[in-house]
């Protein structure tokens, strides 16, 4: 433990090398499945005009009301809270869709993003102030088959990461904006005279965002809700048909789901389909991902009416599940060869040797300091190197080198030139970490032409 007074800020985490083995593995699965399904990568900025989130996600959601991180500069025209760090990707991606005229592209436009998001929440297990999401958006068409395809992509990723068995897919249809308006009115009517029995927070929500009562964690609210009208009573035939068709498609794809009439999600932009992946043991708390359809969002942000559907997964929560499930990503940081040397001539030869080894694809660490061979070998042990090459003054004179198998503790002397072919044989050519740009580079043409 360090003696410094400085620690990473509350609710943030250093992503250490051992964490990156998981991160890299998860990102690989995401990129792989995204490309298979025709998604293209987009990176909206880390911060946006505050209004993008306020209008997009909704002023009376927890995310906007309590959790936005302000960004700006005091004394400037824009002011100190003109911008906010992104709490999610969807609003920013939709803003970009409009700004770059993507409605002219063949529809639907399929985009994905990976990166950190920020929510000023009270830090607790699985709930951080900086966290990472991967996000998928399918924009331009509204059809249950698109919802089914999107769910399928997310399902495959969670399956690839070997955690799907720990999760349940919760799904609901929250109808059209019209359906919800009628329902919200009915809910308000139902609570007339009962407000006093509601906990304070939910009493406020009844005014600002009554649908949020449905997934309230308050016991008193849940008891009152038992006799309240339910959303499905207000769904139009069109919404019911949409939902039934989606469920049929999920069945055809072999995707298990649980219908959850209380699932509404914490962002305002949804209509029709909403879904979440829940931990089987803890339920609604710490969902590993969620999404749904948002057919009015683009219009709300100033674009032409354009429907969309999307999903975001929480990378930290997925990592936690992988660790719990004992899923270990392969260690790509192992050291294959440690090169030890003694004397100025040996040092020069080793410098070149290390370069050759690395170019051949061996993960190579060279001890190029002045320490004794013995202490260099201790270092080789600590690096958990598989093999060590030793070049002392005598070896330089004789044109030889010593190869040591670290685990077996055995070593042999050989002609200097023999060392590389021998190591290739030992490690196996197929295990070398070679890097080559295999794709052909296209001719660069000026897009302005």
Q: Give the H or E element holding residue 255.
A: none
User: Of 115 and 392, which CB lies nearer to ligand HAM in the complex structure?
Assistant: 115
Residue 124, judged by CB atoms within 10 A of its CB (0-12, 13-18, 19+), counts as: exposed
User: Of 87 and 329, which CB lies nearer to ligand HAM in the complex structure?
Assistant: 87
Using CB under 6 A as the binding criterion, the count of chain residues that bind ligand HAM stands at 27
Would you count residue 121 as binding ligand HAM (CB under 6 A)? yes
Would you count residue 358 as binding ligand HAM (CB under 6 A)? no
Q: Taking contact as CB under 6 A, which single stretch among the options 209-217, 304-312, 342-350, 427-435 is the one that binds ligand HAM?
A: 304-312
* Beta-bridge partners for 133: 115, 314
- C-beta separation of 313 from 88 below 8 A: no
Would you count residue 292 as binding ligand HAM (CB under 6 A)? yes
Would you count residue 290 as binding ligand HAM (CB under 6 A)? yes
Would you count residue 90 as binding ligand HAM (CB under 6 A)? yes
Q: How far apart are the first and last CA of the chain?
A: 58
Q: What's the token pair of residue 334?
A: 């192992």
How near is the Cβ of 32 to ligand HAM at its closest, in Å?
Answer: 20
Q: What's the token pair of residue 87?
A: 């709490």
CA distance 419 to 360: 13
Would you count residue 288 as binding ligand HAM (CB under 6 A)? yes
Contact partners, residue 74, CB within 8 Å, separation at least 6: 80
Which one of 127, 159, 166, 347 is in contact with ligand HAM (CB under 6 A)? 127
User: Of 191 and 275, which CB lies nearer to ligand HAM in the complex structure?
Assistant: 275
Would you count residue 289 as binding ligand HAM (CB under 6 A)? yes
Q: Residue of minimal CB distance from ligand HAM? A: 314
User: Of 84 and 288, which CB lies nearer to ligand HAM in the complex structure?
Assistant: 288
- C-beta separation of 117 from 89 below 8 A: yes
User: Of 40 and 194, which CB lies nearer to ligand HAM in the complex structure?
Assistant: 40
- C-beta separation of 10 from 123 below 8 A: yes
User: Of 116 and 222, which CB lies nearer to ligand HAM in the complex structure?
Assistant: 116
Which one of 22, 25, 131, 242 is in contact with ligand HAM (CB under 6 A)? 131
CA distance 399 to 404: 17
How near is the Cβ of 152 to ligand HAM at its closest, in Å?
Answer: 15
Question: 173: closest CA among 252, 256, 260?
Answer: 260
Q: What's the token pair of residue 75?
A: 């004394």
Would you count residue 144 as binding ligand HAM (CB under 6 A)? no
User: Of 314 and 329, which CB lies nearer to ligand HAM in the complex structure?
Assistant: 314
How near is the Cβ of 321 to ligand HAM at its closest, in Å?
Answer: 10
CA distance 350 to 391: 8
Q: How many CB atoms lie within 10 A of CB 41?
A: 12
Q: How many CB atoms lie within 10 A of CB 58?
A: 21
Would you count residue 150 as binding ligand HAM (CB under 6 A)? no
| Residues of the shown chain interacting with ligand HAM in the complex, contacts defined by CB under 6 A | 88-90, 119, 121, 126-128, 131, 133, 135, 137, 266-267, 287-292, 294, 310-312, 314, 316-317
């Amino acid at each position: 433990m360090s003696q410094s007074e400085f620690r990473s800020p509350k609710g943030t985490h250093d992503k250490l090398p051992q964490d990156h083995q998981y991160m890299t593995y998860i990102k690989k699965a995401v990129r792989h499945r995204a490309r298979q399904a025709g998604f293209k990568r987009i990176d909206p900025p880390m911060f946006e005009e505050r209004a993008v989130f306020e209008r997009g996600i909704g002023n009376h959601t927890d995310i906007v009301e309590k959790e936005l991180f302000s960004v700006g500069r005091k004394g400037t025209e824009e002011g100190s809270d003109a911008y906010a760090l992104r709490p999610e990707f969807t609003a920013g991606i939709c803003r970009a869709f409009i700004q770059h005229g993507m409605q002219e592209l063949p529809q639907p436009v399929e985009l994905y993003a990976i990166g950190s998001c920020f929510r000023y929440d009270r830090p607790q297990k699985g709930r951080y102030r900086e966290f990472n999401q991967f996000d998928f958006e399918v924009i331009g068409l509204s059809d249950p088959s698109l919802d089914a395809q999107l769910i399928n992509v997310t399902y495959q990723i969670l399956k690839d990461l070997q955690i799907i068995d720990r999760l349940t897919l919760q799904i609901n249809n929250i109808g059209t904006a019209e359906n919800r308006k009628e329902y919200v009115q009915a809910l308000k009517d139902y609570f007339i005279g009962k407000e006093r029995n509601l906990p304070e927070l939910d009493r406020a929500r009844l005014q600002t965002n009554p649908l949020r009562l449905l997934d309230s964690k308050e016991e008193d609210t849940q008891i009152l809700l038992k006799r309240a009208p339910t959303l499905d009573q207000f769904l139009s035939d069109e919404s019911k048909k949409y939902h039934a068709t989606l469920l049929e498609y999920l069945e055809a794809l072999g995707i298990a789901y649980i219908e959850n009439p209380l699932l509404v999600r914490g962002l305002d932009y949804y209509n029709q389909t909403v879904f979440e992946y829940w931990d089987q043991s803890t339920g609604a708390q710490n969902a590993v991902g969620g999404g749904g359809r948002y057919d009015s969002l683009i219009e709300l942000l100033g674009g032409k009416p354009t429907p969309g559907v999307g999903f975001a997964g929480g990378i930290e929560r997925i990592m936690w599940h992988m660790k719990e499930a004992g899923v270990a990503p392969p260690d790509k940081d192992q050291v294959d060869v440690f090169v030890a040397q003694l004397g100025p001539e040996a040092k020069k030869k080793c410098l070149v040797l290390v370069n050759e080894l690395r170019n051949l694809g061996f993960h190579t660490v060279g001890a190029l300091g002045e320490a004794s061979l013995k202490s260099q070998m201790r270092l080789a042990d600590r690096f958990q190197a598989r093999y060590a090459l030793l070049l002392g003054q005598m070896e330089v004179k004789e044109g030889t080198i010593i190869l040591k198998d670290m685990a077996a503790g055995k070593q042999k002397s050989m002609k200097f030139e023999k060392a590389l072919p021998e190591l290739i044989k030992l490690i196996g050519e197929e295990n070398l970490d070679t890097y080559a740009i295999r794709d052909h580079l296209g001719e660069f043409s000026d897009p302005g032409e």
